[in-house]
Amino acid sequence: MTALFLTSLESVALLLLMAIPGFICAKLKMLNKAEAVKFLSVTLLYILQPFVTVNSFLNTEFNSGILLNMLAVFLFTAVTELLVLGIGIGITKAIKPLDVDSKGIISYGGAFGNLGYMCIPFLQLLAPGQHELILYASCAVVVFNLLGWTIGNYVITGDKKYMSIKKAIFNPPTLSFIIAMPLFVCNINFARFNLDGIANIFRLFADAVGPLSMTLLGIKLAEMSLKDIFLDYRTYIASGIKLIIYPIVGFLIILLMTTFMDVSDIKLNLVALSAMPVANNCMMFASMANTDTSLAAKEVMISTILSCVTIPLCIMIML
């Protein structure tokens, strides 16, 4: 247990250390923060995320058991996110001082974790070379996008016009998953075809998601006052839902799943995605709807800082 805690703690610590260069560059005004954030966001979403997904498929030989595990991860992610979203809505309704915008942003933050920009890099560090883990994580990202752009976005905005099935499907991570799936089923992969040069290119792009996503976090962190982040009680509500309630719900669902299937191959994925902090796109959706972007940003930051402790604890307790 102690060894598992220390291993996961080391992985989280190494991941967050990658945020330091971006933080320093931003603090020393060595770059235009707005342009740097935009560039890194576009690079991560449109280039690196698709490479992560396709690379995981192309390094995994087809197995019907993997398809069943993917379905299990898909259903687990959907059910857990929806349950926690409902719990978050109930909790925020009970807290009278919160305004409507805050309730939506807190509820969303509690239900949707940072799967693409933190869970995948975390798994890459914790279990290097385990492409099946990244494949399952990519499956969870698809669910995240489908629910985030529809129900999640509605919770933040309170307006159905912001719900977009089109954007939920036609986004780089989801499209790359759809494109790579037939290759996987047809067993077209790097194990079957000797394409070492191309395989190395895919690997390099896929491995870059961790450093660049953390650089982006460092730049964003440099823009904010730590005093302002830590003194806003609303951030602790969102962080409590995401880092405590979500893992508990996830753990109970995992226990239920073990009664009718073997979850040993996907358990690390289920635990890791349950433990992640608030998703970055909480800020994007809040900005789109002209709601409290500051609260969304603070939720992301405080939950990420607190996750340094909660992620290793979840891994130790739930595995």
Structural domains in the chain, sorted by start: 2-318 (1.20.1530.20)
* Nearest alpha carbon to residue 132 among 175, 69, 194: 69
Rounded distance, CA 39 to CA 139, Å? 25
Structure tokens at 121: 């890099």
Tell me the pLDDT of the chain (319 aa) as tens digits. 677 788 898 999 999 899 999 999 999 999 998 899 889 988 998 999 999 999 999 999 999 999 999 999 999 999 999 999 999 999 999 998 898 889 999 999 999 999 999 999 999 999 998 999 999 999 999 999 999 999 998 998 888 887 888 888 999 999 999 999 999 999 999 988 888 999 999 999 999 999 999 999 899 888 888 777 888 999 999 999 999 999 999 999 999 999 999 999 999 999 999 999 999 888 888 877 778 888 988 999 999 999 999 999 999 998 8
pTM: 0.92
Rounded distance, CA 277 to CA 295, Å? 15
Give 99-150 pLDDT, tens digit per residue.
Answer: 888 999 999 999 999 999 999 999 999 999 899 999 999 999 999 999 999 9
Mean pLDDT score of the chain? 92
- Write down the H helix ranges in 59-193: 64-94, 100-111, 120-126, 131-147, 153-157, 165-169, 172-185
